[in-house]
Amino acid sequence: MAINYAWVLAEWNKFLDMTERVKTGETHPTRSGEIRHVYSFKAPDDEVKKQLATVRLTFQRVFENWEWRGFGSLNHQVNTMRDQIHSYLPMIERSEEIEANLTPDDPGPQIAADDLHPWVWSAAKPHWDSGNDRAAIHAAAVNINSRLRKKLGRFDVSESRAVREAFSIEDPQPGRPRLRLCPPDDPEHFKSVHVGATNLGCGLFGAVRNPVAHLSDEDHDLTEQEALECLAAFSLFARWIDRAEVQEKPASEAAGAPDAQEGVRSQPT
């Protein structure tokens, strides 16, 4: 999500307004006998502290290498932050202009993790949130394997073998249903779609799931971006499985039934 510079600017201005000095109505004498007025912040100290914390967070998020150097009394912290705001204020006020002229390329569309297929993200999220990207990929793969086996009703095969059984272009057999992504009206298209689905699924389990499950971090290191792309690939495969139609041949049609091919029926998912 892009930074909302208008909100940042509003929070900074709110802090500047809250920390304006105002007369309290109290006075105290100096050593020379003068009477001086007592000043305080426009807002109560507790509210100033809360707004100070919010403003510090905006600096940390907007400016990557920014460091907070305001320590000591509240007055000193406020004065330090006011100086920082006044220094950086022109950058925020002209943020849109700066972004438009200094961003080298259009970053393009972004992959949102919570928009991945639910089979993937529901399994991966707890691990991803804890910073364990490899465990997130593994959990997503395990969940897709379970969903595929359940949809096929095949608990005697798993992972790559289950994928090959599911998207085989051979007709379904008793106890060996198939998943169909398109009708066989165009044989070449039918073949390419289902062979492609088989190759993708087997590739994901073999080249993505197996390394994260069996190799150490040193032998198979992944960046966060690569891990997210792995989840996106599994998400695409999950969508294919989810929308595929189950076709099966009942056992009663296997033993000498005439025109057995006509006995293939569709099972709603």
**pLDDT tens-digit series, residues 59-87:** 998 888 888 887 889 999 999 999 999 99
Handedness of CA 177, 181, 183, 189 (dihedral sign): negative
Residue 108 lies in a domain: no
Question: Any idea how long the chain is?
Answer: 269
C-beta separation of 137 from 234 below 8 A: yes
Say what the pTM is.
0.58
Task: Decide which of 207 and 95 is more confident.
Answer: 207
Residue 186 CB contacts under 8 Å (≥ 6 apart), including other chains: none
Per mean pLDDT, which range of 46-50, 55-59, 60-64, 248-252 is the poorest?
248-252
Residue 181 CB contacts under 8 Å (≥ 6 apart), including other chains: 167, 193, 194, 197, 240, 243, 244, 245
Q: Same structural domain for residues 124 and 231?
A: yes
pLDDT of residue 260: 42
pLDDT of residue 217: 79
Q: Same structural domain for residues 237 and 204?
A: yes
Model confidence at 1, pLDDT cuts 50, 70, 90, reads low
Residue finishing a domain among 102, 135, 164: 102
Query: How many distinct structural domains can be found in the chain?
Result: 2
CA distances from 149 to 26, 118, 160, 193, 234 (A): 78, 17, 11, 20, 16
The mean pLDDT value for 53-59 works out to 94
Q: Same structural domain for residues 120 and 248?
A: yes
pLDDT of residue 91: 86
Of 21-35, 38-52, 81-95, 138-152, which one has max mean pLDDT? 138-152
CA atoms within 13 A on the CB side of 28: 5
Of 38-42, 55-59, 66-70, 248-252, which one has max mean pLDDT? 55-59
Q: How far is it, in rounded angstroms, from Cα 86 to Cα 255?
A: 86
Q: Same structural domain for residues 219 and 147?
A: yes
Residue finishing a domain among 69, 102, 135: 102
Q: Please say if the pLDDT value at position 26 is more than 50.
A: yes
Which tens digits make up the pLDDT trace of 156-167? 999 999 999 999
Q: Same structural domain for residues 248 and 200?
A: yes
Q: Same structural domain for residues 238 and 165?
A: yes
- Per DSSP, helices labelled H in the chain are 5-18, 45-62, 74-93, 95-102, 118-129, 133-152, 159-166, 187-203, 210-214, 224-243
Residue 137 lies in a domain: yes
